[in-house]
Structure 1
C-alpha cells in the first residue's frame, strides 16, 4: 500500500501541486479569518469551507470552476442558517439532514457542478452539527465562509492557477437513464435510506457525536456508482479510520491543542488528504481522521474514548451504506462496469480515427483531448472493477478475468499513446495499410461492444511506428474478447 501511494505516477506533478496549493489556500483562509477577529469556531468553519472549495470543484475548465466556486456560498449559507435554527428541534433537524443527503446525491445528475454544490451543502449542515452552531453565531460564520471561499479562490484562480497550462480535465458523466433507471436517482434514495439507518443507530451509540455515522454513510457514496464499489469504499473507510486513530493516539492526544504543533500536523494532514485522494481512499481517510482529531484537540475535547467512539460511528455509517446498496434499488457491478468498458472501447476507436485523420494531413484533427478522456474512462473502469479484484473477493475465476481485462485495456491505452506520439511528428505520413488497420480497429470495437467474436488479423511485423502501434492495438482488442465473456454471450461481470 505504501508503494502504491508514494510510487504512483504523478504526470506533471499534478497531485503534488494540488496538495501544496491546498495547504496554501487553507492557510490563507484561516489567517484571513484570524485577522478579521473571528473566534476559533469561525476559523475552523472557514478552514473547512476553503478545503471544500479547493477539493470538490472539478469542472472541466477554469471558468466553470470559478463559477462553481462562486456558487458555493449561495448553497452553503442557507443550509447553515437552517441547521442553526433547528439545533434545538431534533426531529426537524434530523429530517432536514436526511433531505440534504438525498438532494445532495441527486444533484450529481447535473455533473461536476451539481456534485460540488451537493457536497458543500451536506458538509455545511454537517459542520453545523460538529460545532453545535446557534443562530447568534450566524453573522460571524457567514463572514468566515465568504472570506474563506474568496481566499481559496484567490489562490486557486490567481496566485497558483496551474490548470491554465494544462488541457481541460475530462470528467466522464455517470451512466444515464430516466426515472429509477438513472443511477443518481437510485443513489439518492439509497443514500437517504443508509443515512436514516446511520442517524438512528448513531444516536443510540452517542447522542452527541451521532452525525459522524451520517457523515460516514455520505462519503462512502461519493464517487461510487455500483453496489460493489460502495461496499469496497466502506471497507476502506473503516480501515483508514482505524489506522488514522492509531496515529492520532500518538500525535493528537499528546499535543492536547498545542498551537504550533497542531498547525504543523493540520497542514501535513491537509497535504496528505489532497495528495493521496486520487490513488488511495484508505490513505485519504487516514489523514482525514488525523485532521479531525487535531481539530477536536483545538476545541479541548479530544480523548482516547472520543477516538474509539469515532471508529464505532464510522462502522455504523459504513454498515448503513452497505445495507442500503444491498437492499434498496441495488445497482449491480455488472451493469455499471459493462457501461464503462463499452464507453472506453468506443473512445479507443475515436482516438484511432482521429489519429488516422491527423496522419492523413487533416489540419484540425487533434486526438489529444480524446486521449485524456480515455485515461479518465479507464480510471472509472478500474474503480468499477475494484470489487472484483479485491483480495477478499471469493470468485478466483472472475478475479483473474477482471485483472486480464484491466491489463489489456492498459495495453490499448499504451498503444494509443504511442500512436498519438507518432502522429505528432510533422514528418509522419499516412498510407493504405494504416487506413486498413484503423478500419479493423473499428470493426473489433463494434464486435466487442456487441458481444461478437473478433477475427484475428495476421500480418508481417511492421517496421513503421504507427503501423506497429495499430497492430499492437488490434492484438489487445482481439485478446479482450475472451475475458469479456464469462461464458458464451455472457459479460465478464455478469451475475
Structure 2
C-alpha cells in the first residue's frame, strides 16, 4: 500500500500483461480464421502486442468516454505510420529520411495533449514495423484489420474487466497515505535510536526521514487528484473535509519529524522515550503510543518546571514531539473513517482539485520545464521555440546521427540505436534527465542481456514457456517502470530475447549487438541534448523554486486577507498547491542531489531542499493555525504576512543566497509586526501557533536570502547574561517582556518575561550588539542598545511611560488621476523617518493598514510621480479611518505644511 498508492502500478502492470496476452490470443484466432501462414500469424500477433502495450498505458483512469475517444484514433495513428512505411520501404535512402521525419512529427504532435503522446508513439511504431517487415501497400488492408481488432479489444478490456474503480482506488490511496505516515514514524524511531551513531549515519537517517515525508506529501496529492474523479467520493461524504483531515494528519507527522533531529541531539532519556512512541505508532499500536506520549509529555513538563541548572536538555522538543504524537493518534482514527459532509460549512461550488493526473500519474518534470527557456537564445533561433518543438528538432537530429553511427556497426540492426535515441527524449525535460535515462537504458540492457542468455537456454523449443516469460516480463516491466526506467529495460530485454528464441534467431552475439547499438543511441542522445537547444537542469530548478516561492507568497497574502477580514480564501487548497510545487521542485532537483561528473555539490543542494521543505511545512502549520483560531484575534499579524509574502517574491526575483536591501527591509517589517503582536503576558498563548509559524517562516526566508546555503553551527552564549528591571515612570514594577534582536540579521535571538518585581533575566546570549525592546500591557514599547560580552552580565533597565496609543484600521484607495493604482506600495513613516507599517494596494487600488497607532505620519507611495502625504491619523467610533491617497491629498498636505 505504501509503495504503490491506490495500487496504480499494480493495475498498470496487470493491465499491460493481460492486454498483451489476450491480444496475442485474439490475433492468433483471427489468423487461424483467415488461414494465415506461420509468418503472417507471427506478424499479426506482434503488431497486436505492440498495440496492446501502448494502448494499456494510454487508457488509464475510470472514465469511459475519454477512453472511447482516445482509442478511436489508435487505428488512425498506427495506420498512418504503416502507410508511410509501406510506401518508402522499397527505397532504402528514402526510408532513412522518412525515419527522421516521422520521429520529428511523432514528438511535435505532443503539444496537442496527452493522447497525442501515444498517437505519435503509435505512428512511429507503425512506420518502424512496416519498414522493417518490408510491408507493401497491398498488405496494408489486412494489417489495418489487425490494428482495428487490437484497438477494439484493448478498449473493451479497459472499460470492463480492467476498468479502474474510482471509489475503491480513492480508499486505497487514503490507506496508502496512512501507511506512508507510519513509515515516517518508523524512520523517526530509527533516527532516535541512533543517538550515539556516527554523524554520517545520522545524516543518512535524517535524509530517510525527509524522503518519507516527501512520499507522504505525494500520497496526499494523489488523494486530491482522485477526489476529483466522478463517483470517487460518495454523495454523503465531502472531498474538502477529506482534504482537511489529510492536511492536519500530515502536519502532525511533519512536526514529529521536525523535532526528532533535535531530540536525537538532546538528553538520551527523552530520545529513548520518543523512539518508543514512534515505534508504537509505526506498529499501529495507537493505544500504547498514546500512553507513552502522555508519559513523555509529563516528564518533559517536570523538567520544564525545574530550576534552569537542573533542566534536562531537549525538554522542549520532547514536549512538542509528545503533543504532535497525541494529535496524530486522534487524527489517525479519523483518516480512514468517512469524511462526512457538513451541510452548513461545505461550499456549494463543485470541488476543484489543485492537481490532476497526467497519463495516470502526477505531472513530472516536463510540466515544470515547459516554460523554461533553453540555453543559447541569443544566437540560436531554435532555442526560442517552445519545449515540444525543441524536442522534436532534438529527436530528428539524434535520430539522424543514430542512423549514421548505427549503420557503421550493423547495416541491418541500426534501428536499436534509433530507438534508444528516440526514447531518451520521452518523458524527460533537462539534459541531466536525458543522460540519466540513457544511462539506465544501457545498464538495463546490459543486465538484461545476461538474464536473457540464461532464460533462452531454459525455454529453447518450448513456445508456451517463452510466452509465459514474455507476459511475466511485461507485467514486471510495467509495474516497476515508475520506480526505475532501468527495471523496465531489463525486462524488455528479456522479452526481446524470448521473441528471438521463438523466431529461432536467438544468439548471444545478437543481444550483444543490441547492447552496442543501444549504447550508441544513448551517447548520441546525450550529446544532442547537451549541444542542441539544451535545457539546463539548474535553470529548471530555479523556475521550480520561483514557482514554490510564488505559491508561498500567494498563501501568505491569502492569510493576510483572512486576517484583515477582506475575504475567505481556501487556505487548504493553497496549502496543497504549495505542497505540489515542493514536489515538482524535488522532481527536477533530483539529478543535482547525485554526485555527477560535472561537479554538482549534492550537500548544498540537499541543504537548500531541506530549507524549502521546512518552509512548506511551516506554511502549512500557519494555514492550519489560522483555520483553528478566530481571525479577529490575529488581525495585527496581517502586515507580517504581507511583508513575508513580498520577501518571498523578492527572493525569487533576486535569487537565493543574495542579500538584497528589498528583502531585508521586508523581513524587518515582518519583525516589527511580530514584535507588536507578541503576547506581553506568559499566559497569553492563544496565538502562539500562528506567531511561531510566522517566526519560523521569517527565519527560513532570511536563511534563503541572506545566509550561505551550507549549514552553520549555532552561536553559543559562552555564559553571557542580560538582566534588569521593567518599571513605569513612578518606579512601580511591571510584568512585561524583553526581546533581544540582532543588529546584523534583525533576527530575534532571545526573550524573557519579568516577574512580579519587574525583574527579568535572559541567559546564554551570544556575544554581540543587540537592540533590546521591552513591552508591557497598556504601555508603549521602549528600546535600547545592548552590548553583550562573553562570560559577563549586562544590565539593561527599562522605564516605560504612558499608555499605548489608540490603534485602528486605516484603509482607502490609491488613485492615479481618476484611475485606481494597483500593486502600489503604501508605507507609513513616523516623525524620525522610521517605517511604522506598509502594504500594497489590490487590483482595484484598495489598501488596508491594520493596527496603526494614532499620531502624525508621512505616507509614501512610490511611483511616477510619487505621492508624499503628511497627515494626522486619529480614530473615532469603530476605530477605522478612511484615507484615500491621490494628487488632491498631496496638494492638501503641501498646503497644510
Q: What is the TM-score of this pair, normalised by structure 1? A: 0.82
In 1, the alpha carbon distance for the partners of 2:686 and 2:82 equals: 64
- 2:493 aligned residue: 289
Question: Aligned pair 1:169/2:357, yes or no?
Answer: yes
- 1:208 aligned residue: 412
Which of 406, 419, 423 aligns to 2:609? It is 406
Give 1:194 shift.
1.0
Give 1:243 shift.
1.3
Give 1:293 shift.
2.0
Change (3 A) 1:44 1:367: farther
1:464-479 counterparts in 2 under 5 A?
477-479=701-703
In 1, the alpha carbon distance for the partners of 2:393 and 2:73 equals: 25
**How big is each residue's C-alpha offset from its partner over 1:206-227, in whole Å with a ceiling of 9 and x where there is no partner?**
1221111100000011112222
In 2, the alpha carbon distance for the partners of 1:113 and 1:343 equals: 27
Give 1:91 shift.
0.9
Which of 277, 281, 298 aligns to 2:502? It is 298
Question: Aligned pair 1:17/2:222, yes or no?
Answer: no
SS of 1:159's equivalent in the other structure is coil
**How big is each residue's C-alpha offset from its partner over 1:130-154, in whole Å with a ceiling of 9 and x where there is no partner?**
5454444433332222222222223
SS of 1:391's equivalent in the other structure is coil
Q: Does 344-353 or 328-337 show the bigger shift?
A: 344-353
Change (3 A) 1:448 1:89: same
In 2, the alpha carbon distance for the partners of 1:480 and 1:281 equals: 34
In 1, the alpha carbon distance for the partners of 2:498 and 2:577 equals: 38
In 1, the alpha carbon distance for the partners of 2:160 and 2:569 equals: 32
In 2, the alpha carbon distance for the partners of 1:262 and 1:419 equals: 58
Q: Does 431-440 or 187-196 show the bigger shift?
A: 431-440
In 1, the alpha carbon distance for the partners of 2:414 and 2:29 equals: 33
**How big is each residue's C-alpha offset from its partner over 1:349-400, in whole Å with a ceiling of 9 and x where there is no partner?**
556777999999988948459737854x55543443343233333425x322
Listed as ranges, the gaps of 5+ residues in structure 2 are: 33-40, 168-225, 229-355, 374-380, 655-659, 679-684, 711-897
Give 1:318 shift.
0.7
Question: Aligned pair 1:448/2:643, yes or no?
Answer: no
Instruction: From the two aligned structures, give the one with the greater strand fraction.
Output: 2
In 2, the alpha carbon distance for the partners of 1:385 and 1:322 equals: 19
CA contact (8 A) 1:253 1:304 kept: no
- 2:79 aligned residue: 77
SS of 1:88's equivalent in the other structure is coil
Q: Does 114-123 or 440-449 show the bigger shift?
A: 440-449
**How big is each residue's C-alpha offset from its partner over 1:160-179, in whole Å with a ceiling of 9 and x where there is no partner?**
33274424415336423796
Give 1:309 shift.
0.6
Change (3 A) 1:261 1:381: farther
In 1, the alpha carbon distance for the partners of 2:10 and 2:534 equals: 37
**How big is each residue's C-alpha offset from its partner over 1:38-95, in whole Å with a ceiling of 9 and x where there is no partner?**
6121111111111112225679977545433332322221111211232221111111
1:88-487 counterparts in 2 under 5 A?
88-129=90-131, 131-162=133-164, 164-165=166-167, 166=226, 167=228, 168-169=356-357, 171=363, 172=367, 174-176=369-371, 180-181=383-384, 182-256=386-460, 258-350=462-554, 365=570, 367=572, 371=576, 374-375=579-580, 377-378=581-582, 380-396=584-600, 398-412=601-615, 430=631, 433=634, 436=638, 439=642, 442-451=645-654, 453=663, 455=667, 477-481=701-705
In 2, the alpha carbon distance for the partners of 1:257 and 1:477 equals: 67
Instruction: From the two aligned structures, give the one with the greater helix fraction.
Output: 1
In 2, the alpha carbon distance for the partners of 1:130 and 1:474 equals: 63
CA contact (8 A) 2:578 2:616 kept: no
Change (3 A) 1:302 1:283: same
In 2, the alpha carbon distance for the partners of 1:348 and 1:87 equals: 56
In 1, the alpha carbon distance for the partners of 2:150 and 2:9 equals: 22
SS of 2:595's equivalent in the other structure is coil
SS of 1:169's equivalent in the other structure is coil
Q: Does 290-299 or 303-312 show the bigger shift?
A: 290-299
Change (3 A) 1:446 1:369: closer
CA contact (8 A) 1:433 1:467 kept: no
CA contact (8 A) 2:571 2:623 kept: no
Change (3 A) 1:311 1:115: same
Q: Does 282-291 or 158-167 show the bigger shift?
A: 158-167
**How big is each residue's C-alpha offset from its partner over 1:16-41, in whole Å with a ceiling of 9 and x where there is no partner?**
22222222233332232223236121
In 1, the alpha carbon distance for the partners of 2:59 and 2:604 equals: 35
CA contact (8 A) 1:444 1:474 kept: no
CA contact (8 A) 2:368 2:540 kept: no
In 2, the alpha carbon distance for the partners of 1:173 and 1:114 equals: 19
In 2, the alpha carbon distance for the partners of 1:128 and 1:161 equals: 32
Larger RCO of the pair (alpha carbons < 8 Å, separation 6+): 1
- 1:30 aligned residue: 24
RMSD value, Cα = 3.8
In 1, the alpha carbon distance for the partners of 2:140 and 2:536 equals: 43
Change (3 A) 1:275 1:183: same
In 1, the alpha carbon distance for the partners of 2:156 and 2:547 equals: 37
SS of 1:126's equivalent in the other structure is helix
Change (3 A) 1:163 1:416: farther
CA contact (8 A) 2:449 2:494 kept: yes
SS of 2:160's equivalent in the other structure is helix
In 1, the alpha carbon distance for the partners of 2:708 and 2:464 equals: 55
In 2, the alpha carbon distance for the partners of 1:47 and 1:335 equals: 40
Q: Does 228-237 or 356-365 show the bigger shift?
A: 356-365
Larger Rg computed on CA atoms:
2
- 2:799 aligned residue: none
In 2, the alpha carbon distance for the partners of 1:78 and 1:334 equals: 39
- 2:832 aligned residue: none
Give 1:263 shift.
2.5
CA contact (8 A) 1:220 1:233 kept: yes
In 2, the alpha carbon distance for the partners of 1:240 and 1:292 equals: 13
CA contact (8 A) 1:401 1:483 kept: no
Q: Does 271-280 or 213-222 show the bigger shift?
A: 271-280
